[in-house]
Structure 1
């Protein structure tokens, strides 16, 4: 791994060495004075010379400057570590120590400090990106309700009777199910990770509703984990509709957790036409885990076009934008 530019920004340490040697000499003399009182007189002979040399270097001022510069260097390392985790998701102490040209102990202290601020999670041998916690489902349901309903109506208009669909557990997806109930679609086959979506879909005339198995996520009121991924892998559908946690300035479609992103990516992969959905409250939101990966999808459903550079970067990334 290459963390370019760090060495070029490092200050020269040669000038500090003289100060440290003088400080060390002064400390040794003071310590000897404490433990060998008989030698105080000989130490005193050197006192004026040592103090004069320290004062001539303006050492008190330089010490404060050194502390400030040391903090600045640590801040730069912290910034580079966080930038690297944004790209790589996980990184080792060994890689960081080699790339930043510092000791492993220094990197471990850096990681501990960043972990205390909630900016990353320390694991054995390195660190991983910290996962941001998402608001409760009930509070998210109230955010931009009108925008989500516009998207839901667009999604429902794409579906005819008798099709098979895959749904995740997002609040926009819940709005899609409610729109389908209002539209009186018939004989739909619905596979979903969401308990609420399954309950709502059961109101559709002649519908067959399947709850995808897996570990229960209380915050999402839905299933997730390895079992859910295996279950999704055995499915095949005409359409899938998946909620997006955030759309950043680079046009990346993201989620709060790796587990959530994995479920949504799998739902996209196992449908003939997979659609992502993002209302305008998601624009500019930077989250740690990307949705999609190698999965192809038919488009991104929106309540309105996002501002540039988000819109231009989405288009550049090959994402088809469909506005309700």
Structure 2
């Protein structure tokens, strides 16, 4: 590929996912890390992306809408959902965060019975509610602009009233030094509280989130029992995650 072709590919991928990791681009473009860095630097100089440690973000630092994100690595996310659902017995209580990966967890739980589900995702609530003896509590709050889900301090306050057996939590990215990150303070705060609100907290993130800094760090990642993904990260990130504490489970 010529530089112009690579850079167009990078911008197309960035438009679809909102953020990219250098490791991901090296694999997809079959070029060296130095070549990818040169392309990213050239695009950043034109104001077309924001450089981060280990990758790049769209200039808006905004998360793409649900439909756009759902199309990215759909097969990998489905595998994560199945792997996550294996942890949950019938009759368990669980917190399900909003997002395309947590939605696959809900889909994989469709045959479970007598669940008590706390969620801020309206689509997940409708998927699991009114079936198999399940009870669903929808966490109230402000409706998000690009999600069928609630967020904000009202959502956080209501969550504080509950404790569940399990929590399945999404993330905007996993930074190169093994930290959770998100696109807004509101999302980061809600997810940090979810990590504290379950006996077994699980972060679900497909491999496209590895090496991505979404801008706002999420506290309490060390409280997660598991990080469930579809592929193993690069050795440096794997070592950083091991240092943080969550056990990596590969779907």
Q: TM-score, normalised by structure 1?
A: 0.58
Q: What is the Cα deviation at residue 203 of structure 1?
A: 5.2
1:304 deviation in Å? Answer: 1.2
The within-5 A match list for 1:204-219 is 204-219=131-146
Residue 162 of structure 1 is matched in structure 2 by 91
**How far apart are residue 294 of structure 1 and its match?**
7.0
Shift of 1:317: 2.0
For residues 158 and 176 of structure 2, the distance between their equivalents in structure 1, rounded to whole angstroms, comes to 34
Aligned to 2:109: 180
Q: Partner of 1:187: helix, strand, or coil?
A: coil
Give 1:249 deviation, angstroms.
1.2
The aligned length equals 197
Match of 1:249 in 2: 176
Alignment counterpart, residue 279 of structure 1, candidates 194, 206, 211: 206
Q: Deviations over 1:97-148 (max 9, x none)?
A: xxxxxxxxxxxxxxxxxxx9997xxxxxxxxxx9710111111011101111
**Could you tell me how far apart the structure 2 residues matched to 1:279 and 1:323 are?**
10
User: Paired residue for 1:59?
Assistant: none
- How far apart in 2 are the matches of 1:294 and 1:157? 22
Does the CA-based 8 Å contact 2:151-2:187 persist in structure 1? yes
Paired residues of 2:117 and 2:137 also in contact (CA < 8 A): yes
How far apart are the structure 2 equivalents of 1:291 and 1:274? 14
The question of whether the paired residues in 1 share the 8 Å contact of 2:177 and 2:241 is answered with yes
Matches of 1:118 and 1:176, distance apart in 2: 32
CA distance in structure 2 between the partners assigned to 1:170 and 1:302 by the alignment: 15
Residue among 267, 270, 274 paired with 2:194: 267
Q: Does 1:133 align with 2:62?
A: yes
Indicate how the Cα distance of structure 1 residues 265 and 131 shifts in structure 2: closer, same or farther if over 3 A, else same.
farther
Matched, 1:235 2:162: yes
Quote the residue 1:192 is aligned against.
119
| Cα-Cα RMSD | 1.9
Provide the C-alpha distance between the structure 1 equivalents of 2:127 and 2:121, rounded to a whole number of angstroms: 10
Per-residue CA deviation, residues 137-191 of structure 1 (Å, 9 max, x unaligned), is 111011101111111001111111111100111110001001111xx11000111
In 1, Cα distance between the equivalents of 2:60 and 2:165?
32
Q: 1:148 aligns with which of 77, 92, 107?
A: 77
**How far is the alpha carbon of 1:302 from its aligned partner?**
1.0
Higher relative contact order (Cα pairs below 8 Å, separated by 6+ residues): 2
**Structure 2 vs 1, CA of residues 193 and 169 (structure 1 numbering), >3 Å: closer, same or farther?**
same
| CA-CA distance at 1:322 after TM superposition | 1.1
Partner of 2:150: 223
- The alignment partner of 2:133 has SS state of coil
Q: What is the deviation of 1:295?
A: 6.3
Gaps of 5+ in 1: 1-115, 120-129
Compared with structure 1, are the counterparts of its residues 145 and 294 closer, same or farther at alpha carbon in structure 2 (3 Å cutoff)?
Answer: closer
Structure 2 residue 251 is matched with structure 1 residue 321? no
Q: Does residue 305 of structure 1 match 2:232?
A: yes
Which runs of at least 4 in structure 1 moved beyond 6 Å after TM superposition?
A: 116-119
- Matched residue, 2:185: 258
